[in-house]
Amino acid sequence: MRIVDPEVKLIKQIDLSSKLDKDSTIEDISKIQNELFQNILNHIEYCNKICRDISVEETIKNSNNLDILEHGTVYLTIPVSKPDPENTEDYMRRMKIVNFYQHNPESVVKGFKSDEDDVLYVYFITTNYRIIIENNRHTDLVFLFNNSEYHAQRFTYGIVTNKYIAHKLLKNKYLSVTISDPVIVNNEIVLSSHSFDDNPVAKNSMINLAKESYKLYESLVDSGVSKEISSKVLPDTVQMNIVLSGFKEDFENLFKTIELESDVDYTDILHMMMYDSDNSEINEELVNEVVEENIEESRKMEEGATTEGDSSISE
């Protein structure tokens, strides 16, 4: 029986260094947009492999379990010119697109007044690929553009944890969550937990329980019960892999729940996301708060020890 440590990895969706300017041709724009679109698909495929055996192409074809598509972030940039009284068709088309995403709860639209004479506003839209597929909005991708400082930022994490944490995160309605089946290697389930690190007796008991639950799992599968239903007899510490995506603000709200949690494995995962060195933008302020709280707590403990004196028994 193998026990693995929880892990967290920030998965970056590749952007392009290529920049467009006023001299860019239609061919230049088309080339960049094709590369950006391919990067979205590659990111989704990478996330998919963490959790599933079925391909993304087959997922889309069957229109089943489209949640994996939510991990592909789509950044649109739509400049809107002043309406021409003689031809308002283009103006209305662009504003209809903006209006759709403004009313979509899974998208964020930021509008800025433009300094250019021929442009009234520029709208920066952040959404996900599932919204594009389910609403048949492929034509909106003509405005596909590089992620910029003006877009609302989304992040994706790949996580190794256990069944209990996976289902706990699955309940978060603001984040896109995809979980794998329980991990089974060489006819043995893999466990992931820090709960028994300092208690070898409890750790051995959990391993023995896991072995017995796996035998029951096998017997259920052999009797014709689906793997999904049979897996319910496996312990909460069985390893499951997760892909977690969301807006910066959604993760910040998640991190604020740490102090309300007592589960070691859950707080481990949240702390690992907070302290991710590649994601300083999302966690720098929160990390500083946690560090300050730890310092303050240590200070109080030291003061308490000084006040109460030495409680050891002298010889």
Claim to verify: residue 76 and residue 148 sit in the same structural domain: yes
Residues 60 and 131 in one domain: yes
Please identify, among 152, 180, 209, the residue that sits at the C-terminal boundary of a domain.
152
Whether residue 240 lies inside any domain: the answer is no
Q: Do 213 and 101 share a structural domain?
A: no
- Assess whether 22 and 148 both reside in one domain: yes
Do 127 and 212 lie in a common domain? no
Highest mean pLDDT among 50-59, 81-90, 199-208: 199-208
Of all residues in the chain, the percent with pLDDT exceeding 70 is 84
Residue 180 resides in a domain: no
Tell me: do 122 and 228 sit in the same domain.
no
Mean pLDDT of 127-154: 94
Is pLDDT larger for residue 239 or for residue 314? 239
Residue 60 lies in a domain: yes
Residue 75 makes CB contacts below 8 A (sequence gap 6+) with: 124, 125, 126, 144, 145, 146, 147, 148, 151
Which of 152, 177, 192 delimits the end of a domain?
152
Looking at residue 295, what is its pLDDT?
52
Pair 136, 220 in one domain: no
pLDDT at 67 over 80: yes
Residue where a domain stops, chosen among 214, 233, 252: 233
In a domain? residue 177: no
In a domain, 243, yes or no: no
The pTM for the full model equals 0.81
Looking at residue 162, what is its pLDDT? 94
Q: For residue 18, what pLDDT is reported? A: 61
Same-domain status, 211 and 94: no
Question: Mean pLDDT of all residues in the chain?
Answer: 84
Percent of the chain scored above 90 by pLDDT? 51
Whether 212 and 144 map to the same domain: the answer is no
**Does residue 120 carry a pLDDT above 60?**
yes
As for how many domains the chain has, the answer is: 2
Query: What are the pLDDT digits (tens) for 88-106?
Result: 888 899 999 999 999 999 9
Which domain, by its residues, includes 141?
Answer: 13-152
Residue 121 and residue 226 in one domain: no
Any domain includes 2 = no
Tell whether 21 and 147 lie within a shared domain. Answer: yes
DSSP 155-193: EEEEEEEEHHHHHHHHT-TTSEEEEPPPPEETTEEEEE-
Question: Does 248 map to a domain?
Answer: no
Whether residues 96 and 39 fall in one domain: yes
pLDDT digits (tens, 9 = 90+) for 187-239: 889 999 887 778 888 888 888 999 999 999 999 999 999 988 999 999 999 99
